Amino acid sequence: MKNLDVVVVGGGPVGLWTACELRLGGLDVTVLERRTERVAQSRALTLHGRTIELFAMRGIAERFLAEGRPISNGHYAGLETRLDFSCFDTRFPFTLFLPQSRTEALIEDHARELGVDILRGHHVEYITGNTSDGYDLVARHAQGNSTFHARAVVGADARHSVVRQTAGISFDGHDATVSIMMGDVRIDGLEGPPVRMVTNEHGGVAIVPVAADGTVRVIMADPERMHVPVAQPLSLDELTTSTQRILGAGIRLSEPSWLTRFGDETRLAARYREGNLFIAGDAAHLHLPAGGQGMNVGLQDAMNLGWKLAAVLKSEAPDALLDSYEIERRPIGAQLARNTEAQGALMTRFDPAHLALRAEMSELLKMPEVNRRLAGVLSGFDLRYPAGGLFGNRMGSGERVPDHPVTLADGTSTTIHSLLADGRWLHLSSGNGTRITLPDWLSADSVRFVEASSGVPGADAPTALLARPDGYSAGHMTHAA
């Protein structure tokens, strides 16, 4: 039996990122993944700007930027008026198109560099134990069975999560009511911008680039085929027929690398924690993949949980810190379910009333405040955690910390996010002796204290900033204060 601090069940992007954060926090962590190989299909294509900021906080954003394709705007329900990300204070005011196969590979590279043990072909069959004694996991693999003992277990193991089931956490919601077709193919007979969304009385189609070789993703909501069970295989002929119905007879699809269907099944876990069993990503929230949010929200779950679990298991924080994971992240899962349900209603109904509703919503998106509201939700830039609790109720507590340039006292130029790369708390001050009082439970040994040569950049010219390891503020002080 192998003894560990944490076992992460599930080796997709969310499980791997959770393991990275746990390992960065100094824990002995192993990932158990039932697949023998990394995902080969493109799957989730979208990295939102806030997710790229998470990567920047760990010094690896450039790896993703070097391979991805930035798109300066986004969409809500495929409406004609696009979402504008330029209004946000960020270095990454765009979405990045990058196949999940590459996202997963890049995160796995980072995990292995940190020393995470990743065991593929290990299917966790059951888990026993409790918080006091730890948990035993039995995993089946090609050579037989292996048992692992861990102080905590994180389930990033998708819809049928064994961790969630072991914890007795309900996964309430509804089954799929519609079936949508999707294929990664080559397309001929269509001129125009690389990203295209068309909706009319015949249905809706979205076309986005997947790879430099000309492969595009076709996502098709055809009212004549939305009754087909999600599990039924999709043929190229079926996808072509539906595409031609909406875009015209001259469209030709060929060379499919992936054909599938998906639905609007929507579920949210009743809670995200039971003892030292935790769930994240698709194990905690399931929804229509509208707006490319699922993997991004899952990665942000991982970022939130990782440093907290590491701190508690190392006795650097009280157990109550782990309660803040659900307090902060479950409302985001509920919001995710709500906005994808709303998008689904707009994207899968093509009667005159719903087409009129789409036109009205598209007009509303021309209002800057409405556009920003929805863009902030989808991108994650406007997320703010509730103040109070273990983090205190200081000015700015819970706000996202933008990545502003900083000149240190010794003249070195850097950025705020770069100063978070070691996964510790950051206290950044202007060098005039201003200090923010740390939470009672937080030791100064867990904080990186840095002085800047001038005022700390940000809202209201703060003279000091206390940032959590996940890039959210635990308070700032201004000249006025």
Q: Is residue 123 part of a domain?
A: yes
Query: What are the φ and ψ backbone dihedral angles of 310, each rounded to 5 degrees?
Result: -60, -45
Specify the CATH number for the domain of residue 89: 3.50.50.60
Q: How far apart are CA 178 and CA 348, in angstroms?
A: 8
Between strands 117-120 and 29-33, the pairing is parallel
The pLDDT-based confidence of 480 (bands split at 50, 70, 90) is very low
Residue 65 reports pLDDT greater than 90: yes
Q: What is the DSSP letter of 408?
A: B
Q: Are residues 235 and 119 in the same domain?
A: no
Q: What is the pLDDT of residues 381-398, one digit of tens each?
A: 999 999 989 998 888 999
The answer on 308 and 284 residing in a single domain is yes
pLDDT at 458 over 60: no
Portion of the chain with pLDDT greater than 90, in percent: 88
Q: Classify each residue of 49-81 as buried b or exposed e, where b means 16 or more C-beta atoms within 10 Å of its C-beta.
A: bbbbbbbbbbebbebbbebbbebebbbbbbbeb
d(CA 64, CA 102): 8
Query: What is the per-residue pLDDT across 190-208, written as a single tens digit (0 to 9) for each?
Result: 888 878 899 999 999 999 8
Task: Output the domain CATH number for residue 247.
Answer: 3.30.70.2450
**Cα distances (Å, whole numbers) of residue 213 to 38, 186, 255, 376:** 21, 9, 11, 32
State which amino acid sits at residue 77: A
Cα R_g (the chain), whole angstroms? 23
In contact, 83 and 368? CB cutoff 8 Å: no
Q: Are residues 148 and 251 in the same domain?
A: no
pLDDT band at residue 457 under the 50/70/90 scheme? low
Q: Is residue 132 part of a domain?
A: yes
pLDDT band for position 479 (cuts 50, 70, 90):
low
Compute the distance between CA of residue 393 and CA of residue 474 in angstroms, rounded to an integer. 8
Secondary structure of 192-238 in the HEC alphabet?
Answer: CCCCEEEEECCEEEEEEECCCCCCEEEEEECCCCCCCCCCCCCCHHH
In angstroms, rounded to a whole number, what is the distance separating the alpha carbons of residues 38 and 17?
Answer: 15
Q: Is residue 384 part of a domain?
A: no
Verify that 354 and 271 share a domain, yes or no.
yes
Reported as a single tens digit per residue, the pLDDT across 418-447 is 999 999 999 999 877 788 999 999 999 999
How high is the pLDDT of residue 454? 66
Question: Would the pLDDT of 459 be above 70?
Answer: no
Same domain for 394 and 373?
A: no
Q: What is the mean pLDDT of the segment spanning 163-172? A: 98
Same domain as 243, residue 210: yes
246, 198 contact by CB (below 8 A): yes
Under the banding of pLDDT at 50, 70 and 90, the label for residue 481 is very low
pLDDT at residue number 409: 85
Q: How many domains does the chain have?
A: 3
Same domain, 221 and 335: no
Predicted local distance difference test score (pLDDT) of residue 143: 95
Confidence at 214, pLDDT banded by 50, 70, 90 = confident
In this structure, is residue 410 part of a structural domain? yes
Domain boundary, last residue among 326, 348, 379: 379
Q: Where among 263, 287, 313 does a domain terminate?
A: 263
| 6/320 Cα distance (integer angstroms) | 18
CATH number reported for the structural domain that contains residue 454 in this entry: 3.40.30.120
- For residues 198 and 139, state if they share a domain: no
Beta-carbon neighbour count of residue 152 at 10 Å?
Answer: 25
Flag whether pLDDT at 175 surpasses 80: yes
Q: Which of 329, 347, 379 is the last residue of a domain?
A: 379
* Within a domain: 452: yes
- Same domain (yes/no): 160, 279: yes
> Could you tell me if 219 and 299 lie in one domain?
no
Give the pLDDT mean for 205-228. 93
Is the whole model's pTM more than 0.85, yes or no? yes
Residue 189 lies in a domain: yes
Domain coverage including residue 398: 389-478
* Position 237 in a domain: yes
Interval 276-295: pLDDT, tens? 999 999 999 999 999 999 99
**Which residue spans within 270-384 are E strands per DSSP?**
273-274, 277-279, 285-286
Question: Residue 343 falls within a domain, yes or no?
Answer: yes
pLDDT tens by residue, 97-138: 999 999 999 999 999 999 999 999 999 999 999 999 999 999
> Do 321 and 453 have their domain in common?
no
- Segment 32-36 shows an average pLDDT of 96
Tell me, yes or no, whether 14 and 151 share the same domain. Answer: yes
